[in-house]
């Protein structure tokens, strides 16, 4: 963290080091689990505490990075174990039960991130004139970086290239979850400029 700058509680580094943010989120979750584990709380109270106190703080930290599904699952593991322990459920029970709105409604970090990223990308792409210009510049920069005439939102996948940019990583996550931001028509084997 020494090589980065802290601005409004989020660390920014010159090389876009993701691990600073992931370690911060992991530390927050472990602290929450450690405190709540020692308290005499019901399963519903733990779910409410998670959703009301820690999720907004994690959501704020997620503004700085885009995490993969595997990273989100790893971060959620202590919370899943805590909830199953507090509700006297076996550890082998599927996590979808504690994420179900009608049962406990525990908010999952990955789904929360998908919601935030999709909103942010849509605001950037369709927002006011200045935001739209910034988004187009970032998209063109990604096209130039990977020497492609194709639309970046169509060609991005995590196995093709790591972007190390927030917009690029967001497009990868959205694309992997079948969120499309462009509706292209192919004209003469080329995508029209947008």
pLDDT in tens, the chain (194 residues): 456 666 666 666 666 677 778 888 999 999 999 999 999 999 999 999 999 999 999 988 888 788 888 999 999 999 999 999 999 999 888 998 999 989 898 999 999 988 888 888 777 777 788 877 877 887 777 777 766 666 666 666 655 556 567 677 777 777 777 777 766 655 555 555 55
Whole-prediction pTM value? Answer: 0.74
Domain assignment of residue 186, yes or no: no
Q: Which residues, 6 or more positions from 59, have their beta carbon under 8 angstroms from its beta carbon?
A: 112, 116
Q: Do residue 95 and residue 139 come from a single domain?
A: no
Res 148: pLDDT:
66
Q: Do residue 46 and residue 92 come from a single domain?
A: yes
12 φ/ψ angles, rounded to the nearest 5 degrees: -120, 130
Token pair listed for 52? 């009301």
Q: Which residues, 6 or more positions from 66, have their beta carbon under 8 angstroms from its beta carbon?
A: 113, 117, 166, 169, 170, 172, 173
Domain assignment of residue 193, yes or no: no
Q: Do residue 149 and residue 101 come from a single domain?
A: no
Q: Which helix (H) or strand (E) holds 148?
A: none
Res 133: pLDDT:
83
Q: How many CB atoms lie within 10 A of CB 170?
A: 25
Please provide the DSSP assignment of 85-112 as one string.
HHTT--TTS-THHHH-TTTT-PPPHHHH
d(CA 186, CA 192): 7
Examine the fold and report which residue of 56, 80, 107 is the final residue of a domain before the chain moves on. 107
In 3-state terms the chain splits into helix, strand, coil percentages (rounded to 5) of 60, 5, 35
Domain of 171, in residue numbers: 117-176
Token pair listed for 2? 């020494």
The residue with tokens 């989100």 is 72
Res 146: pLDDT:
67
DSSP state of 52: I
Q: How many domains does the chain have?
A: 2
Examine the fold and report which residue of 107, 136, 168 is the final residue of a domain before the chain moves on. 107
Q: Do residue 48 and residue 130 come from a single domain?
A: no
């Amino acid at each position: 963290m020494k090589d980065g700058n802290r601005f409004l509680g989020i660390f920014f580094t010159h090389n876009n080091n993701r691990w600073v943010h992931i370690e911060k989120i992991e530390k927050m979750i472990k602290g929450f689990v450690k405190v709540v584990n020692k308290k005499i709380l019901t399963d519903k109270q733990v779910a409410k505490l998670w959703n009301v106190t820690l999720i907004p703080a994690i959501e704020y930290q997620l503004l700085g990075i885009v995490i993969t599904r595997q990273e989100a699952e790893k971060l959620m593991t202590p919370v899943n174990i805590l909830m199953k322990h507090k509700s006297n459920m076996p550890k082998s029970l599927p996590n979808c039960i504690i994420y179900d709105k009608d049962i406990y409604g525990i908010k999952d970090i990955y789904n929360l991130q998908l919601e935030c990223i999709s909103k942010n990308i849509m605001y950037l792409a369709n927002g006011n004139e200045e935001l739209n210009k910034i988004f187009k510049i970032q998209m063109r920069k990604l096209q130039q970086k990977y020497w492609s005439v194709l639309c970046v939102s169509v060609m991005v996948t995590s196995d093709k290239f790591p972007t190390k940019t927030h917009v690029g990583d967001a497009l990868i996550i959205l694309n992997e979850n079948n969120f499309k931001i462009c509706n292209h028509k192919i004209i003469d084997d080329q995508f029209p400029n947008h």
